[in-house]
Amino acid sequence: MDRPASTQADRLMLDAKKAILQEQHQRFQDLQRDERWDDAWKQLHVTLTCAADLLKDSVGLLEKVVNQKNQLPPPSSTSSEDPPTL
């Protein structure tokens, strides 16, 4: 099934935000490893903010997809006399 262009764009945006989150998390881990606790604490805030943003947008996209699916007419059923196609 083809996705609407807006859903594809949303998915790309989520992928970009996920990459940013991974980068921020790596920075946090590096600061921890270097025992730079003050900087790590600040980085933790940035990392958690990125995570919250990604989760919020993920839920928004999920709701959008569910709403679009609910607006579609139900798929037509095939006749019981027709053999299934492979």
Q: Given this model, what pLDDT does residue 15 score?
A: 95
Extents of the domains making up the chain: 5-71
* Per-residue b or e along 15-24, where b marks 16 or more CB atoms closer than 10 Å to that residue's CB: eebeeebeeb
Q: Given this model, what pLDDT does residue 75 score?
A: 67
Question: Which H helix or E strand runs over 55?
Answer: helix 37-71
Q: Given this model, what pLDDT does residue 8 score?
A: 85
Q: Given this model, what pLDDT does residue 81 score?
A: 55
Q: DSSP assignment, residue 35? A: T
pTM of the model: 0.70
Find the mean pLDDT for residues 54-75.
Answer: 86
* 10: Cβ contacts below 8 Å, ≥ 6 apart: 57, 61, 64
Q: What is the pLDDT of residues 2-60, one digit of tens each?
A: 566 777 888 899 999 999 999 999 999 999 999 999 999 999 999 999 999 999 999 99
Give yes or no for a contact between 28 and 47, defined as CB atoms under 8 angstroms apart: yes
Q: Given this model, what pLDDT does residue 79 score?
A: 53
* 11: Cβ contacts below 8 Å, ≥ 6 apart: 3, 61
Q: Given this model, what pLDDT does residue 68 score?
A: 84
Q: How far apart are CA 28 and CA 40, in angstroms?
A: 5
